[in-house]
Structure 1
Amino acid sequence: MSPLLRLGALPGLALALVAGVAGVQVAAGGGDFRPLQPADACVDRSVTSQADGIEGLTEQLVLLGVDDAACTLDVSREALTLELAQQDEPTDAQVDAVREGLRAAVQELADDDALPPSSELVDEALDSADLNALVAAAIRALPDSVIDDALPTEDVLLRAVDELDVRAILSDLDDADALNTAVQEAVVQAVRDELTDRVRNLL
């Protein structure tokens, strides 16, 4: 066969190969292929964390809270994170939805009895606090029952969420993957500060 004829046969050969691959895919059930759809943010889901303490707790709060915010805004989680990363400033609706989503997440975990007692979180908060050693030692000496009665975890978390500068957090996102990390870091710090300030007042 001449080189010219061989070149002319290439498109037909490529078409035959594509048709063959498509036929195998259909035979294997691939004819029903559809692009993956983003998960419905309004569908309840269980969340877990590999981390412990305040970090693990806030990771669950953020996952649930962002889902709730996306549901409120009638978008997928993926669409919300992409919008926030592409905007210079979040809208009032987005700020309110994220804050209320976090509050709803606290309530959901409380209703499920999934919140640890605050006494389990105090040592971690004190480790990162800039406190006089004697004050820190006095706080650590408080009975767990005193801390838990005075500082219900749900109340501590709600106050921490209310103190968050959500607008600043959402304005500082570099990309769509940064939302969970940015919100979680802010919530972790807010919870630590809230616990430290309130438990110090017990002395």
Structure 2
Amino acid sequence: MNDPQASLRLTAPAAARNAAPILDVLRTALPVRGTVLEIASGTGQHAVHFAAALPGIDWQPSDADPRARASIAAWRDHAGLANLRAPLDLDVRREPWPVDAAIGSLAAIVCINMIHISPWEATIALMKGAGARVAPGGALVLYGPYRRNGAHTAPSNEAFDADLRARDPAWGVRDLEAVEALARAEGFVLEAVVPMPANNFTVVFRKEKAAASAH
């Protein structure tokens, strides 16, 4: 049978390869139920994979790129998952985020492969937005390559960093310590840094809970 939406469903080989390892971390980092906002959802392959595997989660994909949103919508229609929402047009640097009125506080935010392929201002905005929207005890989960202690973790990452900066000087593999500092300023503590295939990491931050009253 001819599928009119097949041409809209973009595919990324990396998304197919890393979905299972990332899901393993998400099973531990995310609550059983709640709304999770995925930022920079890309093709939509991850959104379908995670929503299918985590039926108690209300998965909200988003992307600033209209072509990506069309792909996410096509993957969503193809999968027919009740807990996968339609994609939002969301650029972290543009306030207010469109998720605010519809959802309110979030159980978690997941952001895969955005920080190194965007200006540093986008990471700052991501952290500020997450700090304002993730509920206490909730998670901020990031995935991608990072420098650690001022150095690349593999020669391939160093070459990738050079390629990114050649394409756009504002891009590049970030120092995990700098990312952690931004997160900490917005009320998150670093919970886990999990090595992933292809010299990437899944990084889990946890939103601090308010201190108990002294009364």
TM-score, length of structure 2 as denominator length? 0.25
Higher share of residues assigned helix: 1
User: Higher relative contact order by CA 8 Å / sep ≥ 6: 1 or 2?
Assistant: 1
Larger Rg: 1
Higher share of residues assigned strand: 2
TM-score, length of structure 1 as denominator length? 0.26
